[in-house]
Structure 1
């Protein structure tokens, strides 16, 4: 039986690939809902991106808008990496779909309470929506199997030397989530920077079907920022949180007690892991540390091939 999941996201180039990866594997993952949160761009833009992506691959899944910004302060966006639209690159057609007439938290509660199985949450943007869900509706915790998130980094950051973007945008929300007691698997920079896609892979995608070509165009734009930072390849951050659910054997992990720094002048947003051999703290997070990159990229390519075949079949029926 497929695992029911809710993807909470801010598309976002790597968010888009994560969504496509999940949708291509319905035998393992049932995407019950997609919720959006202000992050890589403002809420309206990233919600529109999610809807356009779903329309492009003809997947009518409930999409609900959530928090436009963090619990405290103003939204910091990732425009430098993701462009003015939040998903610059390909020119996707306007969506045939619209968001549901519910707030993201309302949709999450509805999905979780009505599910016969426990639901897995997959937050791949700032954790504002998840924190609001857990604080506003604590009864749903018992029906959440686990959280597989993209965020943080116990060795270094990317927005600052200590903080990764998703956590930095709303560290107060992240602290609520990390201290919730729900089992957490963290795909942070320690592993996601190893899950890189290189230019030869991108060129190969653009020689394949319609959806693969579109993803190649996404990555052409996304790789510009990666090169500015001195990376040879582009880190596929968000897909790691989905890939771990599909193929956990591809990853190596360590269990640590992790909390979020909210007060430090130079460490705000840092995911602080207690890595001492002897500690009084109980591990609360499985931190992914390494990945079989080639097998990970194959997982992405296989998923996109499914979407290519589906697109070809739809055109044949038209």
Structure 2
């Protein structure tokens, strides 16, 4: 078996693509899935994750529910891009999960899976970073069991939920700052700037839908998402943000990265949740460019990435 992987998620249409990508990849040992509030409230994200795994015929994968709100204070709003149930109103079309929800919470499941692993595990957080921040704060001893954190979030030059901030980071900036800027675990940030360039068009979605029941179901989740991204992209297509990050988690190096000092704005002003990516030339001077260095995904073979995701979702690889 290849990459040992845990996904932390808030499904979400693009989360559904990402979960299926991991679940259907023969070279991935998907140890578990943990859920967090985000695109929709926690009860919905948890139900969606469990039923998506059932759709992929993966009842072997445990699911545990995590944080229902951000670390510091409430008042967050859920995204509306994904429809009221997170899957364009189609969550009810998924099969009921046969495996019960784990009785332990998300952080407890993360700890047990990490401690039981005989080799370091990649964690792919593709929602708000609340569970991961709690894990690192309460269980620092598991750091050595984490190969790296590959997260979807942030932006170098843009936001989406606000002018400055990407949704996953904005949903819990304090948690994001802990994971991105203040911890020691190797981290790869996959930002909006790249995920938007990896958008897939109607022809790609048609191939997915024609591939069989799984592809047809995944494509059926996209109407609300398509309506939104038609305005953003100017054509019929979607941005599969989270699947881009999970592709890197599965296949290290499929995304090109550069090392930057990154911080997260946790103030109450208009830049709250912004990822500040320090691209100054003096990066090697810690006084001129202070802060922890992480990898930021900046480029990829766009057609190759799209084919990588499609081939695994359709079972052609």
Q: Same fold (TM over 0.5)?
A: yes
**Where does structure 2 lack aligned partners over 5 or more consecutive residues?**
none
Whole-angstrom CA distance in 1 between matches of 2:297 and 2:221: 25
Q: CA deviation at 1:154?
A: 1.3
1:39/1:75 contact within 8 Å kept: no
Name the SS of the counterpart of 1:80 in structure 2. Answer: coil
* Residues in 2 aligned to 1:59 and 1:295: alpha-carbon distance in whole angstroms: 27
Q: Where in structure 2 are the equivalents of 1:1-318 lying within 5 Å?
A: 1-27=1-27, 29-60=28-59, 61-74=61-74, 76-90=76-90, 91-178=93-180, 179-232=182-235, 233-263=237-267, 265-279=269-283, 280=286, 281=290, 284-306=293-315
Return 63-72 or 264-273, whichever deviates more. 264-273
Mind listing any 5+ residue stretches in structure 1 that lack a counterpart?
A: 310-318
Structure 1 residues 190-199 or 126-135, which shifts more?
190-199
Change (3 A) 1:59 1:275: same
Does structure 1 conserve the Cα–Cα contact (< 8 Å) formed by 2:41 and 2:78?
Answer: no
How large is the Cα RMSD of the aligned pairs?
1.8
**Counterpart secondary structure, 2:7:** strand
Report the count of equivalent residues. Answer: 307
- Select between 48-57 and 243-252 the one with higher mean Cα deviation: 243-252
What's the offset of the Cα at 1:23? 1.5
Matched-pair contact (CA < 8 Å) for 1:194–1:291: no
Contact 2:39–2:80 under 8 Å retained in 1: no
Which residue in the other structure is 1:313 paired with? none
Q: Give the deviation of 1:88 after TM superposition.
A: 2.1
Asked if the contact 2:208/2:314 (under 8 Å) is kept, the reply is no
Structure 2 distance, partners of 1:75, 1:129, is 18
**Shift, 1:95, TM fit:** 2.3
SS of corresponding position for 1:108: helix
1:231 and 1:108 mapped to 2: Cα distance? 40
Indicate conservation of the 8 Å contact 2:35/2:64, yes or no: yes
CA contact 1:42–1:77 (8 Å) conserved in 2? no
Moved more, 272-281 or 153-162: 272-281
Give the direction of change, closer, same or farther, for the CA distance of 1:218–1:75 in structure 2 (3 Å limit). Answer: farther
Query: Deviation above 6 Å: which 4+ runs of structure 1?
Result: none
Distance 2:254 2:147 in 1: 21
Cα distance in structure 2, aligned partners of 1:150 and 1:231:
23
Cα distance, 1:231 vs. partner?
4.3
What's the CA shift for 1:96?
A: 2.2
Q: CA deviation at 1:283?
A: 5.3
**Closer, same or farther in 2 for the Cα pair 1:264/1:276, shift >3 Å?**
farther
- Inter-CA distance 25–75: structure 2 relative to 1 (3 Å threshold): farther
The alpha-carbon distance between structure 1 residues 98 and 116, as it changes in their structure 2 partners (threshold 3 A), is same
How many angstroms does 1:77 deviate by?
A: 4.1
Offset of 1:220 from its aligned partner? Answer: 3.1
